[in-house]
Amino acid sequence: MPVHNADIAKIFEEIADLLEIENANPFRVRAYRNAARQLQGMGESVAEMISRGEDLTGLPGIGDDLAGKIAEIVETGDSRLLQKLQKQTPPSITELLKIPGLGPKRVRALYHELDVQTVEQLARAAQDGRIRELPGFGTKTEQTILQAITAHVTKQKRFKLAVAAQYAEPLKKYLEKIPDVSQVMLAGSYRRFKETVGDIDILVTATNAEKVMDRFVAYDEVKKISAKGGTRATVILQSGLQVDVRVVKKESLGAALQYFTGSKAHNIEIRRLAQERKLKISEYGVFKGNKPVSGSTEESVYRAIGLPWIAPELRENRGEIEAARAGKLPKLVEFADLKGDLHAHTQATDGHDTLRKMAEAAREHGFEYIAITEHSRRLTVAHGLDPQRLRKQILEIDKLNGQLKNITLLKGIEVDILEDGRLDLPNDVLSELDLVVGAVHSKFHLSRAKQTERILRAMDHPYFTILAHPTGRLIENREPYDVDMLRIIRQARERGCFLELNAHPERMDLLDIYCQMSRDEEVLVAINSDAHRIQDFDNLVYGIGQARRGWLEKKDVLNTRPLKLLRSLLKRTMT
């Protein structure tokens, strides 16, 4: 069975959790977490790299030891270290870590003192009032835990889009290879490029539906068959991801695609419009009485109710139907519109590749320019640059620009925004750069007023150009910090700055609603990869998807501008 990057990442996460509960060396724990993050974020399969005989220790955060662990998992599907840890500590305990407010220290105490191993046991202990007795817990903590459990139990697990893609795309290829299958389409939230998906919805046209069902449930990653009928089946994959497959008739494909792409809120409005025209719309087609009016293509379905085709990314009932009726749908930005990338790292800090390799890879993506924006000195874990090392890189870039053809390296920095809004590097060195990307990497829990003020002050700096990952959230891992985004966007407009949409699969930050807000306030958004290695440029497709969900057009995106125009936009008018 093929082992996906996300499978290995999951094992590493579990190892890190169990090590942490056991009070292991924090560096060791972090090494596993970093490796898991690396694996989730890269499009290239490490299993395939291994089969080609490539050396994994070249990957950021992967040393000999971890490379060996990865090879073991690829070969055996399991890890001896994980098995050993699971013998020492019941694996159900890692579930407790997902309850907000419960860190490894508390989980360790709950396990050792009260023998709490599962969420159910935790709930019982809280209800019985046993938790408040533990040193460092108290009645209030017990209450908070109880509330958190209720919220946790009702919350359904979702998959980050890029992670879901690692499972969905190979499955799509598998289904396409079944004889008699003519088309396989991914629908649902996946097609809408939602940042996380609950399950995968697949539509298939085929001459023999039964056979497709049999082959689908026989897919080697299927863990459980939840339902199987003549034309539809639902399974759970080993990864925990649920997949729905439906075989539909060719003449209904458009209607089925429209229906199962959703969103539900969009579809409800569409059905209402159909009713106004005395039409009935379903996953089988559009009908007048019993007579089919359309259904084979999505265009024909929308046309039947008097609308132009609406891009899936817009189908959230957030004004797209009104816009479609008024002929005012946006012409959404596309990957081909990008002229460059304005946020990337190299070996000089925590990136993996050289300046030259990054530049050449950017050129292969058809870009005119790529900005190198290393971390600044404050971020010691990333080996951030001080003025001296930054100046050294500036010289290297100048030299390389003299040698490279058809690609320009821009000189930048991802400078830390300090707690009081000052920047981590002095103005004189910042003034030598083409752009200054500012980012919050610490003190995430300031009050809304303080956090907003901190960012507004940073933007006051004469050389500040782009606010990186503006909300700081890590999907399913860290909440956005509390800021007044409208004020920040308005400050950006006033100061001639821009906001980033960071396309790293964990971030996808700017959020779609804030993209829309930026567009309304006429602040350009930079869709950036935050690449730490050349393969990371592939993540830009998710950034484009998110930008499209935020209604952005080519004109709304900073890095659709050719170099000359970009340079003039990056030049801040000093006030």
Instruction: Please give the structure tokens belonging to residue 265.
Output: 């809120």
**CB contact set of 311 (below 8 Å; sequence gap of 6+):** 329, 332, 548
Please give the Cα distance from 353 to 205 (Å, whole number). 44
Select 244 or 374, whichever has its Cβ closest to ligand DGT.
Answer: 244
Q: Which residue is nearest to ligand DGT (CB)?
A: 262
DSSP-based three-state secondary structure for 502:
strand
In the shown chain, the binding pattern of residues 221 to 260 toward ligand DGT, with x for contact by CB under 6 A and - for none, equals: --------------------------------------xx
262 binds, among Ca ion, ligand DGT, none (CB under 5 to 8 A by kind): ligand DGT
Select 152 or 363, whichever has its Cβ closest to ligand DGT.
Answer: 152
CB of 312 to ligand DGT, least distance (A): 10
Is 92 one of the binding residues for ligand DGT (CB under 6 A)? Answer: no
Select 268 or 513, whichever has its Cβ closest to ligand DGT.
Answer: 268
Select 8 or 197, whichever has its Cβ closest to ligand DGT.
Answer: 197
Describe the chain by its helix, strand, coil percentages, rounded to 5. 50, 15, 35
- Half-sphere CA count of 114, side-chain side, radius 13 A: 25
| Lookup result for tokens 């490490």 | 46
320 binds, among Ca ion, ligand DGT, none (CB under 5 to 8 A by kind): none
| Whether the bond into 92 is cis, omega within 30 of 0 | no
In the shown chain, the binding pattern of residues 186 to 205 toward ligand DGT, with x for contact by CB under 6 A and - for none, equals: --xx----x--xxx-x----
367 binds, among ligand DGT, Ca ion, none (CB under 5 to 8 A by kind): none
Please give the Cα distance from 224 to 573 (Å, whole number). 61
Select 61 or 262, whichever has its Cβ closest to ligand DGT.
Answer: 262
CB of 333 to Ca ion, least distance (A): 25
Max CA distance (Å), the chain: 76
Chain residues binding Ca ion by CB under 5 A are 188-189, 199, 201, 244
CB of 362 to Ca ion, least distance (A): 34
CB of 154 to Ca ion, least distance (A): 18
Is 267 one of the binding residues for ligand DGT (CB under 6 A)? Answer: yes
Q: List 369's β-bridge partners, or say none.
A: 340, 408
268 binds, among Ca ion, ligand DGT, none (CB under 5 to 8 A by kind): ligand DGT
What per-residue string of b and e applies to 432-446 under the rule 16 or more CB within 10 Å gives b? ebbbbbbbbbeeeeb
Select 79 or 546, whichever has its Cβ closest to ligand DGT.
Answer: 546
Cβ pair 98, 152 in contact under 8 A:
yes
CB of 244 to Ca ion, least distance (A): 4
* Interaxial angle between packed helices 26-41 and 161-176, expressed in degrees from 0 to 180 and rounded to the nearest 10: 50
List, in sequence order, the alpha helices (H) in 234-345: 253-261, 264-276, 298-304, 320-325
Select 113 or 269, whichever has its Cβ closest to ligand DGT.
Answer: 269
Binding site for ligand DGT (CB under 6 A): 188-189, 194, 197-199, 201, 259-260, 262-264, 267-268
